[in-house]
Amino acid sequence: MTGLIDEDLAYIWHPCAQMKDYETFKPLHIVGAKGSYLHLDDGHRIIDAISSWWCKSLGHGHPQLKQALLRQIERFEHVIFANTTNKSVVSLAKQLISLNEGLHKVLFASDGSSVVEMALKMSVHAHRIQGNCQRNHFMSLSNAYHGETLLALSVSNTDIFCRDYEALLLPVHFLKHIPYVHSTEDPMWADCSAIWPDILRQLAPYQDTLSAIIVEPIVQGAAGMRIYSQDFLKRLAHWAKKHGIYLIADEMMTGFGRTGTWFAYKHADITPDFLCLGKGLTAGWLPMSALLLTDTIYQLFYDDYQRGHNFLHSHTHSGNVLAAAVADEVCRIMRDQSIVKSIEGLSATLLKCMRRVEEETSCVMNIRCIGAIAACDLIVTKEQAHRRLGYEVYQKAVKLGALLRPIGNTIYWLPPFTISTDCLNQLCDITIKAIKDVMSQPGY
């Protein structure tokens, strides 16, 4: 008899995977998920240490979110969102706007990449309407990641995702020498004046041709959870404003509390022109993304149809009502239960645990932590350089009881905000054992 895994491998191409890897380490057969745990068909449960690709901020199976979804399903599940409206989407839009002072309008899409595309396109369009047709270039940060569609990939600087499509990507300027920090205690966090002249030199040649600068505010996730100076973000935002360049904050991963503030741009006390949200927007229940923008930009497009200033960009599931009902409830839960405030305590525990990993393994360095994110890098010897150590740690950790999914040789935790201290200590023990086992194996 053919098993489920055989059938899966016979028909399915999994995301972000070399399918041959599954010959030796099969996909995990999930039969349930609750809180911070994933339940496997063999009866074991494992800790979801990365909130299922950074989206399950409130854990799996949250009862209030389930109720919100069921309530909406009883009414209707999806209706074209051009020319129609409904209570759930309007309520959600009001909440999103009230959480982001200075942003006034919201458009919906289905995922991160498509909302990033939308922001980039709209920035160029807005400049065109103002007669600034030369403003059609983008700037991004080195090590950036903004998604997989071609425009989103163009503003990404992550070699393994970009290199095979280089011929298709737009030329984009990537700012180098980003002032990375380990935590908000790092002096560079509050003052990056020492490196700013170098950044200004890089910015200057593009001040008249840039349409927008796009950033992952404060933490670059796919680059290995790299945290950078809030002062750098503040200076960059002010420079962009001074030169009439839009700032796009891509908060796919950092939004909805992940860095200890509702949105990471708030660390720098700035307001971006565009804000891209997803993942935590529905706490990972359903695919939905949102683009928030200023009224000034909105007014540029608001005109008689014949004038041609129309943003004719659509996605079939824009404003999907099931996702909207859940997202609306996510905002409510986060507000009513002061979830963002609770992340302070979680952050301290995460850091303590990561320090224990360092002490007990002596195999990691560069511990960094902000909000509900903690990360470190494996110390790799010359003999180990050819091994996929992060992948080996992943395999070992799964066997020990945690879905830990390192990025290269970066080990990180990005758990649901609702994870218990017991569960976190368990995750810490598993991480230590997995690292020790992998790193003590002789090179081969």
Ligand X SMILES: Cc1ncc(COP(=O)(O)O)c(C=O)c1O
Write down the least CB distance from residue 258 to ligand X, Å: 10
Produce one character per residue of 230-246: b if its CB has 16 or more CB atoms within 10 Å, e if not.
Answer: bbbbbbbbebbeeeebb
Write down the least CB distance from residue 305 to ligand X, Å: 31
Near ligand X by CB under 6 A: residue from 127, 146, 266, 368: 146
Give dist(CA 63, CA 417) in Å, integer: 15
The footprint of ligand X on residues 93-112 (CB under 6 A) is: 111-112
**252 lies in the binding site for ligand X (CB under 6 A):** yes
Write down the least CB distance from residue 251 to ligand X, Å: 7
Task: Give the number of other CB atoms < 10 A from CB of residue 40.
Answer: 15
- By beta-carbon proximity to ligand X, the closer residue of 112 and 179 is 112
Query: What is the size of the binding site for ligand X (CB under 6 A)?
Result: 14
Q: Which amino acid is at 121?
A: K
The footprint of ligand X on residues 222-241 (CB under 6 A) is: 222
- By beta-carbon proximity to ligand X, the closer residue of 392 and 413 is 413
Give dist(CA 279, CA 370) in Å, integer: 18
Tokens of 148: 């997989």
SS3 label, residue 219: strand
No. of H helices and E strands in the chain? Answer: 15, 17
**255 lies in the binding site for ligand X (CB under 6 A):** no
Give dist(CA 367, CA 377) in Å, integer: 7
Segment contacting ligand X by CB under 6 A, of 88-96, 121-129, 247-255, 305-313: 247-255
- By beta-carbon proximity to ligand X, the closer residue of 35 and 147 is 147
Near ligand X by CB under 6 A: residue from 109, 120, 245, 253: 253
The footprint of ligand X on residues 203-222 (CB under 6 A) is: 216, 221-222
**147 lies in the binding site for ligand X (CB under 6 A):** yes
- By beta-carbon proximity to ligand X, the closer residue of 88 and 113 is 113
Q: Which amino acid is at 183?
A: S
Write down the least CB distance from residue 15 to ligand X, Å: 9
- Residue closest to ligand X when measured from CB atoms: 112
Task: Give the number of other CB atoms < 10 A from CB of residue 15.
Answer: 7
SS3 label, residue 108: strand
Segment contacting ligand X by CB under 6 A, of 160-168, 245-253, 328-336, 398-406: 245-253
Q: Which amino acid is at 438?
A: V
Near ligand X by CB under 6 A: residue from 81, 108, 138, 145: 145
Give dist(CA 189, CA 250) in Å, integer: 20
Q: What torsion, rounded to 10 degrees, do the Cα atoms 215, 282, 369, 345 define?
A: 140
Residues that bind ligand X (CB under 6 A): 111-113, 116, 145-147, 216, 221-222, 250, 252-253, 278
